[in-house]
Amino acid sequence: MGNSGLFMPHSWNYLLLWVSPLTFYINWIHALNLGLASFFFALFMRKQGVGWAAIAVGLLTAFWLGSNLTLTYAGHTVKFGVLMLASVALYCISCALSRQLSLRWAILAGGAIGLMFLEQLDVALFFGFALGSYALFLAIRQWQIHRAWKKMTLIFVVIGGVGLLFGATTMLSGYLSNVKGAVSMQTESPREKWEFVTQWSWPPEECIDFVAPGYMGWRSGEPEGPYWGRMGRSAGWEQSRQGFMNFKLENTYVGIIPILLACFAVLSAIVGWKRRSPGIRSGDQPAVGGTVELASEADENSTRTLEIVFWGCVTGVTLLLAFGKFFPLYALFYKLPLVSSIRNPNKFLQVFQLALGILAAYGLDEMIRGKFGDCAERRHKKQQK
């Protein structure tokens, strides 16, 4: 399996390393993982009723730009396995907690989450917060429709149980040997531990790199454009000049267009929520057929609005958490179990970029639907006249 001595679980990357030639694995593992992530992202967005043009923009934003692509330069492989499995889990969760609650999809969702934790524990945990929140969001939404709390609870137990079945041993051993041991030295003060854990925090001013490629430099050690920001800077470097001045090996540029589309999606959801007719709700049984269609359309729009609001919150919260020691929110997050033993808050940028891709897809789809929807409405009025 590519590892001697200790028993290693059948993780996705180890299996690929086992069955493929080493050169092929090194050259193609990133493209394979990003391709599969894009495929399941497309399935997820199609399930939400998003068009193919918008899906293309969304998956390019989520996987083929920014940190989720340029981390290939740093040689990371398992992070890309986490990214791929997170996309699989996202799609399976949406199927398990759709209008037809499904235990089969719940089993697959739990398996994808468990395998995700086998790849890289810390990044998987960050993705796990977003995926768990999304599952809870869908459960509340479906409970409002079905009121089937027993089956909903069973689905949650199945997802969590299967996930633990796959990943519990590795999660525990990885935490004890690789994470906890690295930061629990008795000689460290709480302040030193905080500085060690949060050393790679994303400085807020460097968000300009999202829209201005290479503004802060391309990466550390790059002759054509060395990184000159402060991410990775060792504590007290300004006084002692000891340790790292900075260190970054990826680029976070995603472009102004996806960000504007994401903002448009959130604004359209807010405006749509305010304009939504209070007289039409899911579950109404009006006598006129046309009103039934209107109620169904209103329910679909309400679901999309809530989805956009949810992913807007995920995008905002994960970006703030990626700021780490530069923003107070991470100090509260740091107090949660396990979190105080995980380094580098900038890993939240991987979750942020996936959520941004979802919002960008919704934003373009809302533009397309608005333009063609207005044309169709005008044609319908002309026909009525």
pLDDT in tens, 77-89: 889 999 999 999 9
pLDDT value at residue 168 = 73
User: Per the structure block, which two tokens stand in for 60?
Assistant: 């390019």
pLDDT value at residue 57 = 97
Q: Residue 226 carries which DSSP code? A: B
Residue 13 has pLDDT above 80, yes or no: yes
pLDDT value at residue 144 = 77
Residue 143 has pLDDT above 60, yes or no: yes
Selected residue with higher pLDDT from 203 and 6: 203
Q: How confident is the model at residue 310 (pLDDT cuts 50, 70, 90)?
A: very high
Neighbouring C-beta atoms of residue 148, cutoff 10 Å: 13
User: Per the structure block, which two tokens stand in for 36?
Assistant: 């599969």
- Lowest mean pLDDT of 15-19, 106-110, 217-221, 246-250, name the range: 15-19
Mean pLDDT of the chain: 84
Residue 140 backbone phi and psi in degrees, to 5: -65, -40
pTM of the complete model: 0.88
Query: If we measure between CA atoms, which residue out of 33, 30, 163 comes closest to residue 96?
Result: 163
pLDDT tens for each residue of 327-381: 999 999 998 877 877 889 999 999 999 999 999 999 999 999 886 555 445 554 5
Residue 287 has pLDDT above 50, yes or no: no
pLDDT above 90: percentage of residues in the chain: 52
pLDDT value at residue 345 = 94
- Lowest mean pLDDT of 5-14, 23-32, 182-191, 281-290, name the range: 281-290
Burial code (b: 16+ CB inside 10 Å, e: under 16) for 61-92 equals bbbbbbbbbbbbeeebbbbbbbbbbbbbbbbb
Please report, as a single letter, which amino acid is at residue 120. Answer: Q
Say how far apart CA 68 and CA 337 lie, in whole Å: 27
pLDDT value at residue 11 = 82
pLDDT tens for each residue of 206-247: 999 999 999 999 999 889 899 999 999 998 888 888 888 999
- Lowest mean pLDDT of 18-32, 59-73, 365-379, name the range: 365-379
Q: Where are the alpha helices (DSSP H) in the chain?
A: 12-19, 22-47, 52-63, 66-70, 78-96, 103-119, 121-146, 149-174, 181-183, 190-197, 237-240, 256-275, 289-322, 329-333, 348-384
Residue 262 has pLDDT above 50, yes or no: yes
